[in-house]
Amino acid sequence: MDTLQARQLVIDIPGRTGGSPLNLTVEAGQVWGVLGPNGAGKTTLLHTLAGLRLPREGEVRLGEYPLTEVRRRSVAQQLGLVFQDRQDGFPATVLETALIGRHPWLSLWQMESGDDLNRAEAALKALDVVHLKDRLVSTLSGGERQRVAIATVLTQNPDTWLLDEPTNHLDLHHQVAVMQLLKQQAEAGRAIFMCLHDLNLAARWCDHLLLLFPNGEACWGHASQMLVPSALESLYNQKLITVEADGAPVFVPAKG
Amino acid sequence: MPAFDAFRPLALLALAGLGAMVLSVSVGSAGLSLADTLAALTGSGSELNRTLVLELRLPRTLAAFATGGLLAVAGALMQVLLRNPLADPYVLGLSGGAAVGALLSMLAGVAGVIVTASAFGGALLSTLMVFGLAHGTGSWTPTRLLLTGVVVAAGWGAIITLLLALAPTRELPGMLYWLMGDVAYAGSPWPAFVLLVLACLLVIPAGRSLNVLARGPLQAAALGVNVRPMEWTIYIGASLLTATAVTTAGSIGFVGLVVPHMLRLVLGNDQRIILPACALGGGALLVLVDTLARVVISPEQLPVGVITALLGVPTFLYLLYRSR
């Protein structure tokens, strides 16, 4: 599998001058979490890693090649992205939405086959939205739309998954279900790289973490090394209380 | 969607288009029976009927069909490009630019192919202006593009009024008819027809990419579409279609708005089906409207653009009212 690699990467945030260059490799089987306060550049980083934005310095490599030299279609076969914001300009059903995940795999003249349809339905089933498949996406709740978006990337079936706040709008049960699904994908040999707001989800499910500070400084490594209360407190500028539950640390914001 | 299901609505629309054309060539100041019409079309029947159908009515009917189809496909393409169902060549000022080009050349006293070329230039200039100005420093935001188009269209409107005020009286009737949109003066329908067929053929391989683009440029890029080249292709393609339609039959408004909207309500929004359906449906609609324009106050004729506007304005307002 081709790994995603950031080399001396500085993302382009308007008005930010400094920042430490990122040097990291997202390998098969790993689950990465990106933590940072609002405006730290988590989404920009994700879009830069997906090649949707150019970095200020450094480069992103997909396998042996710089991302900019790989054809968009070939990138889309290897790299999938769940966006935080989605626009629904035209009405589309849930099944149609999941099916567009097959786009990078079909040639110009190909129509979607029964196999593509099966993959889309299986993905919708895995995200527990298959009963909504004929509904218009615009009529769904926020959490249901989020699951449809994740199902679209599951249909796309890339080796590397980039996800921007995949648990947004999800209820507790579906948060766990989605994290479990991502963990399974990693165990099946895919690489997962996601931005998260919920420190505890990250602590529970991620094996690698990247902490992104508002001034552009960053540190990354094994989750066990990164989950240091003092570092997290300075990251969020918020005092934390650490307790242990179910074998993992749980961070609770302190009052006042 | 399975291929079989997809082609049934297209077959139905093609039948409707054929029906509309047969109706159109049989109705008129001298009405013909269906049998007479079919006989004339197949080359038998009386000499008089053959001349009436094949030489007088058929070219006009074909021109109406091709114009309607081109406008509807151009409208549908622009709506995907802007991700806004209100986009339309007329609303975006393309038709206005073409009209100014044509009127200027008419005022200069030239005729025929130069009027066509001039209208074409006007349409392309208008597109470049609208897309260039709306682009600014950032990316195209649909609302900004639509607003720029509306303002540019208003500007063309003012120039048209100015040209009409300056024009010598004997030029006025022709110019007015041209502005209102009228297939009566259409030249050869074939260039428009060939372009329409070509556009439909090109849409088949591009259709799925258009579907993905309709989800927004970032999502499309993430799914492997080369967004920028694709957007430019759509925008130049739609201008070409509009300019050809306008030079065939003057500025006919709202076909590009009404037809794609109606068809999307019934057929969903798969561009591989919607775009050919727009070609057939837009063609059929304009043939019917033109037939209506010929008979409603017969023997006088109404310009077809009047009727499309009467249909289009309420549709536009309804769409605007329904959107957030």
More confident residue, B136 or A255: A255
H or E, element range at B109: none
Contacts of A184 (CB under 8 A, 6+ apart): none
Residue pairs spanning A and B at CB distance below 8 A: 76
Q: Is B207 on the interface with A (CB under 8 A)?
A: no
pTM of the model: 0.89
pLDDT at residue B266, rounded to an integer: 83
Beta carbons of A49 and A60 less than 8 angstroms apart: yes
Domains and CATH numbers, chain A: 4-253 (3.40.50.300)
The Cα B233–Cα B240 span in angstroms is 10
Q: Is B205 on the interface with A (CB under 8 A)?
A: yes
pLDDT at residue A57, rounded to an integer: 93
pLDDT at residue B1, rounded to an integer: 45
Q: How big is chain A, counted in residues? A: 256
Q: Tell if the CB–CB gap between B218 and A83 is shorter than 8 Å.
A: yes
For β-strands A208-212 and A240-245, DSSP reports them as unpaired
For residue B303, pLDDT over 70 is answered with yes
Tell me the torsion sign for CA atoms A96, A102, A104, A106: negative
The CA radius of gyration of chain A, in Å to the nearest whole number, is 18
Provide mean pLDDT across the span B270-298.
91
Beta carbons of B320 and B56 less than 8 angstroms apart: no
The Cα B304–Cα B105 span in angstroms is 23
Contacts of B100 (CB under 8 A, 6+ apart): B122, B156, B159, B160, B163
Q: Tell if the CB–CB gap between B221 and A83 is shorter than 8 Å.
A: no
H or E, element range at A81: strand A79-82
pLDDT at residue B169, rounded to an integer: 86
Orientation angle between helical segments A142-156 and A114-126, nearest 10 degrees: 140
The Cα B289–Cα B302 span in angstroms is 10
pLDDT at residue B212, rounded to an integer: 93
Q: What residues of A are in contact with residue B272 (Cβ under 8 Å)?
A: 111
What one-letter code names the amino acid at A69?
Answer: E
Quick one: which of B192, B297, B295 has its CA closest to B252? B192
Strand partners for A24: A6
Contacts of B271 (CB under 8 A, 6+ apart): B76, B80, B203, B206, B207, B208, B210, B211, B214
Cα angle, residue B152 at apex, residues B147 and B157 outer, rounded to 5°: 125
Question: What proportion of chain B, given as a percentage, has pLDDT over 70?
Answer: 94
For residue B227, pLDDT over 70 is answered with yes
Helix intervals (H) in chain A: 42-49, 72-78, 94-99, 114-126, 142-156, 172-187, 199-205, 223-226, 229-236
Provide mean pLDDT across the span B157-186.
83
Q: Is B233 on the interface with A (CB under 8 A)?
A: no
Its ipTM equals 0.92
Q: Is B229 on the interface with A (CB under 8 A)?
A: no
Q: Tell if the CB–CB gap between B214 and A89 is shorter than 8 Å.
A: yes
Q: Tell if the CB–CB gap between A90 and B214 is shorter than 8 Å.
A: yes
Q: What residues of B are in contact with residue A88 (Cβ under 8 Å)?
A: 215
What one-letter code names the amino acid at B288?
Answer: L
Average pLDDT, chain B: 84
Provide mean pLDDT across the span B43-54.
78
pLDDT at residue B4, rounded to an integer: 52
pLDDT at residue B2, rounded to an integer: 46
Beta carbons of A144 and A93 less than 8 angstroms apart: no
Condensed to tens digits (0 to 9), the pLDDT of residues B237-264 reads: 888 888 888 888 888 888 998 899 889 8
Per-residue pLDDT of chain A (256 residues; tens, 9 = 90+): 568 999 999 999 988 887 889 999 999 999 999 999 999 999 999 999 999 999 999 999 998 999 999 999 999 999 999 999 877 678 889 999 999 999 999 988 888 899 999 999 999 999 999 999 999 998 999 999 999 999 999 999 999 999 999 999 999 999 999 999 999 999 999 999 999 999 999 999 999 999 999 989 999 999 999 999 999 999 999 999 999 888 778 999 998 7
pLDDT at residue B40, rounded to an integer: 77
Q: What residues of B are in contact with residue A150 (Cβ under 8 Å)?
A: none
